[in-house]
Amino acid sequence: AVPLVVAVSTSLSAGNGLLIRDRAAFERARNLNAVVFDKTGTLTEGRFGVSDIVLLAGGDENEELALAAAAESQSEHPIAHGIVAEARDRNLTVPKASEVSNITGEGIVAKVDGDDIRIVSPGHLARQGKAIGHERLKQLEAQGKTVVVLVRDGEPRALFALADIVRQESKEAIAELKALGINSVMLTGDAKGVAQAVSDELGIAEYFAEVLPDQKSEKIKELQARGLQVAMVGDGVNDAPALVVADLGIAIGAGTDVAVESADVVLVRSDPRDVAAILGLSRATYRKMV
Ligand code: ADP
Ligand code: MG
């Protein structure tokens, strides 16, 4: 039988915008000491707009943008949506791309008008020994902007900086958790400079940057190995393994089905402040029972 306090708490949680999928995990929530947040789409809205274009080898802004949009028009990534929207806003004619394939967590590759077109993270190029030295890269990242590089037939042609909106509620969520004695950690595939800027804005003391999708769960294990009980909050397909490994997996309700299926608790309102509410509710519920 379901204990009365828990039954009450479940309906209470529904009223609070929480969907509890795994009660044992919810019970463990009262012992958490760290909460790991995915950046894009969780702490931020995950809606990117192109803010700056930097030409690296002459040429024309709109021509490079059209090429980038051609490749990105076949991607569902929020960065892709931002680039495609910018080309549309500028009324550009976007050529057709073929042989499009994703490099998960790093970028996209395609053929456009016979050229090899890649839109990739600066980190991806650095790992190949082709780091971008342009001073604007660091400046833009320090502003919290995500920067991707358009590479055409092996030659870096342009930087696209994309601005995302940090959720108003995120800062409060971090502060509320801190008041409960819980440290927040940010996890992102994005560059270090961007992670630093967003962490500073939100008051987050620790972050893991340039984490490839298949390494996200390893970072959770690292924290657990320090003796911490860890919750992970995420929205994307990439976050699913980390949600499973965490002591408490929390999915943003507006995220992907895969994330929701992998989570113990779902935030129906997609509000990061509800993470603190889970903890409070878990503590209140299970205090009454013992
Ligand atoms: P996050 O962890 O912030 O959700 P992802 O793992 O989805 O980020 O992506 C990490 C990085 O990979 C992005 O910041 C970007 O540099 C690059 N990337 C991924 N997909 C694309 C794409 N479709 N176009 C360009 N860059 C991409
Ligand atoms: Mg995400």
Give me the mean pLDDT over the 36-56 stretch.
95
- Shared domain check, 283 and 174: yes
Distance (Å, rounded) from C-alpha 45 to C-alpha 140? 19
Among 129, 163, 197, give the residue marking a domain's end. 163
Give me the mean pLDDT over the 3-25 stretch.
69
Give me the mean pLDDT over the 20-42 stretch.
91
Give me the mean pLDDT over the 198-203 stretch.
96
| The pLDDT of residue 290 is above 70 | no
Q: What percent of the chain has pLDDT over 90?
A: 77
Pocket flag, ligand 1, residue 235 (CB < 6 Å): no
pLDDT number for residue 236:
83
Distance (Å, rounded) from C-alpha 202 to C-alpha 157? 33
Calculate the alpha carbon distances from 205 to 33, 43, 49, 194 in Å.
Answer: 14, 14, 27, 14
Choice between 126 and 270, residue whose per-residue pLDDT is larger: 126
Q: What is the CATH number of the domain that holds 175?
A: 3.40.50.1000
Please list the residues that pair with 30 across neighbouring strands: none
| The pLDDT of residue 2 is above 80 | no
Domain encompassing residue 240 = 4-45+166-289
Q: What is the CATH number of the domain that holds 67?
A: 3.40.1110.10
- Shared domain check, 53 and 149: yes
- Shared domain check, 159 and 224: no
pLDDT by residue (tens digit) across 120-148? 999 999 999 999 999 999 999 999 999 99
Note residues around ion ligand 2 (Cβ under 5 angstroms): 38, 40-41, 236
pLDDT number for residue 289:
60
| The pLDDT of residue 4 is above 60 | no
| The pLDDT of residue 73 is above 80 | yes
pLDDT number for residue 10:
60
| The pLDDT of residue 93 is above 60 | yes
- Shared domain check, 187 and 116: no
**99 CB-contact burial (10 Å; exposed 0-12 / middle 13-18 / buried 19+):** exposed
Position of tokens 């008051």?
Answer: 203
- Shared domain check, 147 and 100: yes
Give me the mean pLDDT over the 9-28 stretch.
77
| The pLDDT of residue 7 is above 80 | no
| The pLDDT of residue 212 is above 60 | yes
DSSP code string of 198-251 = HHHHHT--EEE-S--GGGHHHHHHHHHHTT--EEEEE-SGGGHHHHHHSSEEEE
- Shared domain check, 272 and 174: yes
Q: How confident is the model at residue 17 (pLDDT cuts 50, 70, 90)?
A: confident
pLDDT by residue (tens digit) across 225-255? 999 999 999 998 889 999 999 999 999 988 7
- Shared domain check, 140 and 211: no
Nearest CA to ligand 1 atom 8: 189
Q: How far is the CA of 108 from the centre of ligand 1 (A)?
A: 9
Among 163, 181, 208, give the residue marking a domain's end. 163
Q: Please enumerate in sequence order all residues whose Cβ is within 8 A of that of 176, keeping only pairs 6 or more positions apart, or say none.
A: 273, 276
Ligand 1 pocket: which of 64, 81, 127, 148 to mutate (most atoms within 8 A of CB): 148
Among 163, 194, 222, give the residue marking a domain's end. 163
- Shared domain check, 149 and 187: no
Catalytic residue (choose from 38, 235, 247, 271): 38
Give me the mean pLDDT over the 23-33 stretch.
90
- Shared domain check, 62 and 35: no
How many domains, the chain? 2
| The pLDDT of residue 260 is above 70 | yes
Q: How confident is the model at residue 172 (pLDDT cuts 50, 70, 90)?
A: very high
- Specify whether 247 is catalytic: no
Q: How far is the CA of 268 from the centre of ligand 1 (A)?
A: 25
Q: How far is the CA of 33 from the centre of ligand 1 (A)?
A: 29
E strands along the chain, which residues?
18-20, 34-38, 49-55, 97-103, 107-112, 115-120, 146-152, 155-163, 183-187, 206-208, 230-234, 248-252, 265-267
The reported pTM is 0.91
- Shared domain check, 189 and 98: no
pLDDT number for residue 288:
63
- Shared domain check, 28 and 112: no
| The pLDDT of residue 278 is above 70 | yes
| The pLDDT of residue 11 is above 80 | no
- Shared domain check, 60 and 29: no
